[in-house]
Structures are given as structure tokens and as C-alpha cells.
Amino acid sequence: MTWNQKYDRAKQRLLNDEAICTENRELFARFFDFEEYKLKRINRLAQLDDGTYKTLLYYVSRLRTVNRWFENKPWNALTKEDIKQVYDDLEDGRIRTLRGKPFKEKDTYYRKILRGKPFELAGKKGLAAEVMEFYSPRDDGEVRFIREESFRRIVEMVSKREHKALLWLAWDVGENASTLLCLRRRDFTRQVNEDTDEAEYAVTLRRENLKRGRLPRTEITNYSDTARLLDEVFNGLGDDDLVFRFGTRMAAKMLCRVARLTQTVCIPGGERVTLKVLRSSMACDLLGKGWTTDEVNRRLGHKPSSREIDKYVNWLALDTRGPRKKLVDNDLRRLKGELAEARQHEQLTSRRVSRHEEENRDLRAEILQTQRELAELRVTMQLLAARQIS
């Protein structure tokens, strides 16, 4: 099913849901007309594409959620007290997700709905801004990632090669799993690295598969494990075949289960490992291996500088193990130098021994030859002595 079909189906379900009051359904219809037109114009599109349909689909679920918070009251009749009640319940953690946890993405609802176009169409945007007088978008610089050894421990527990290939591709290329699951065989080009003589793949990330605002690009895989698994997965696939024949939900469940089995959690706060975490983990891993922020941002599909990568750079710079790591690195460099000298000495010694062995072989051959000549001379002398006696 295409994103267009997914959006149309979800939109019709929302607008035809008789459990939602007529006033709100009419407001939602007006909003979708506005948003569809806006997305076409700001993106300079003659027709909506997959990226815009994804955005619109997210709005369907958000509108339904906010309608539930206000208990299906007509939005154009909401009072200041109604809005304040919902706002306070969100901030105080009384409104919870289906899993029974407080909403963490409140800012999205505030920005897109309560202080966005839907409440403007309802004539309540100003009232919401008045209620949320002390609100400011939260940017606490929170980071979450896992290290390479933890990732490898996770992958070792995965049994299906298609699942392994997806995890390695997410760690290696750093793109969202939803995008990677849309890739087809033609999006991969196998080549050989000139420096290492190892196989690698150029992965083409097309605009229609990417999140809105993400740069279309082609990325080269960094790990031989990724190329090896892709070789296996591609066996028997045609150019137009999907590489992965499962969805985001199955991939998320698989990763959650394996992370739980390996007791792997995120650094530094111990949060649950998700598919999105693999993207940030790749960024941290590359930063730790000497990549610049611009290089990492480009691999992530961001502009040269972004708040998203800056917070990881700041966290890594504040890592208290940094000074200790520098000392260890110095020791390692010293040991590597000593090892190189020892290997050089060993090679010289080995050559000297080989040369002596060759000289010894020649000397032994000369001794044997001399012994043979002496033996022959002794026999000759014995024969001469015998003739003289006779």
C-alpha cells in the first residue's frame, strides 16, 4: 500500500467517524485542505509526494489523539478552562500514552495543534497561547546511544539474516529504518574499495523515501559485515524487488526483544534501545573515530550544522573518561612503537639466522666433499702400498 493510499484511508476513517462530533470533523476537513495545499506550495510540487503524505498521515493520528483529550468537545466551543485542564494534565503527567507512560513528545502537539493551524481554524489559537504563557520549547540536550560492542552483542543474538542485514545497514548508513525498509535492489551498487580491496555498497537514498527535510544522497558502507550480509540477502532478487519484506513494527519488536535478551540499554540514561537509537549511535561512533561534525551531518542527511548532532558532540566532549582515554592512547602509541621496533629486530635476527644457516649448509657441504676426497685418497694410498710390497 502506498503512502497516498494509507493517508486517504486514514483520513476518510477520521472524517467519517461518527464518534467524533460533526463540528470537529468539518474543522479537520478544512485543515487537511489547507495543509495539502501548503505542502504542495512550500515544496514546489505539482502533486503531493510520499514525504508529504507521511506528514499528513501523522496529522491524522494527532488530531484524533487531541480530540480524545478534549473528550470530543467542539473545538470552536472550548473555554480557557478546558484548554488549561488539558495543558496542565499533560505537563503534570496525568494524560498518558496507551502504554501508561506520560507523553514525551508534548512539544509536537503544542506546536502543531494547540498553537498551530487546527486551533487557529477553531478560533482558539490565541486562547491557547494565553494559557501556555510560561511555555517554552524544551531542548535539554538529551542524548541516547549505544557503543559498537553493545551493537555487535545485539546482532549476534539475531537469527534471521534479513534482520541482521537491516540492523547492520541502520548502524552503518545511519538512516531511519522506515526509509531503509523502502529500498529496492536497484538502490544498491556493489563495488570494491581501492584502499582495502574489500567489497562495499553504494546505497542510494532517494528523496521519495526520505523524511521531509532530509537530503537525498548516496552513502558508502563502512563495514565488511554489511556488505557480506547484503550479498547474501540479494541472492535471487530482481532490481525492482524490495530488499526487506517486513515492516517497521516487526523490526522494532525484533530489536526490542534482542536488546532485552542481551540486557543492552542506552547511554547515558539507560533508556530502551530502539531503531532510532541506531542512527544516533552511528553518529557517536563516527565522532569517536575522528569524523568531523560536517562529515557526520552529511551522512545523516542534515545540513553541515544542526542542533541534533551538536548535542551529541557536546556530550562526547564532556565525557569524563576523555582525559583517561588520552593517556591510554599515548600508552598504546608507545607500545605500538616498541612493538614495531621489536618486530624489526626480530626480522633482522631472522635474516641473520637464515644467512648463518645458509653459510652452515655450504660449510657442511664442503666438509662432506673433503671427507669424500680424503676417503678416496686413503684408498689410493692403500693400493699403492700393496703394489710396492708385491
* Pair 170, 279: CB distance under 8 Å: yes
Question: Would you say residue 143 lies in a domain?
Answer: no
CA atoms within 13 A on the CB side of 97: 8
Residues 83 and 207 in one domain: no
Cα(144)–Cα(317) distance, integer angstroms: 15
Closest CA to 82 of 41, 135, 122: 122
Task: Answer yes or no: is 332 within a domain.
Answer: no
pLDDT, averaged in runs of 10, over the chain (390 residues): 91 96 96 95 88 90 95 95 94 87 85 94 94 79 84 93 95 92 94 87 88 83 93 93 93 94 90 91 88 84 64 52 47 73 73 74 82 83 76
63 and 212 part of one domain: no
Q: Which three cell numbers stand for residue 313?
A: 558532540
Same domain, 305 and 380: no
Classify residue 160: in a domain, yes or no: yes
> 16 and 113 share a domain?
yes
- What is the chain's length? 390
- Residue 115 carries which side chain, given as an amino acid letter? R
pLDDT score of 91: 92
> Same domain, yes or no, for 28 and 168?
no
Q: Which of 132, 159, 193 is the C-terminal boundary of a domain? A: 132
Specify the residue for cell string 565525557.
319
pLDDT at 294 (0 to 100): 82
What pLDDT does residue 231 have? Answer: 95
Quote the pLDDT of residue 241.
95
Same domain, 311 and 348: no
Domain membership flag for residue 325:
no
Q: Are residues 56 and 160 in the same domain?
A: no
Identify whether 327 is part of a domain. Answer: no
Residue 313: its pLDDT value, please?
Answer: 56
In a domain, 141, yes or no: no
Q: What is the pTM of this model?
A: 0.62
Q: Specify the pLDDT at position 320.
A: 38
Residue 54, domain member (yes or no): yes
Say if residues 276 and 258 touch (Cβ distance below 8 Å).
no
Domain tally, the chain: 3
Rounded CA gap, 84 and 82, in Å? 5
Q: Which amino acid is at 354?
A: S
Cα separation, 256 vs 274, in Å, equals 7
The 199-205 sheet, strands edge to edge:
188-192, 199-205, 217-220
111 shares its domain with 166: no
The whole domain housing 161 covers 148-319
Report the CATH number at residue 152.
Answer: 1.10.443.10
Q: Report how far apart, in Å, the C-alpha atoms of 24 and of each of 39, 66, 112 are.
A: 22, 11, 16
Do 173 and 298 share a domain, yes or no?
yes
Residues 190 and 261 in one domain: yes
Within a domain: 138: no
One domain for residues 121 and 12: yes
Is residue 127 located within the same domain as residue 180? no
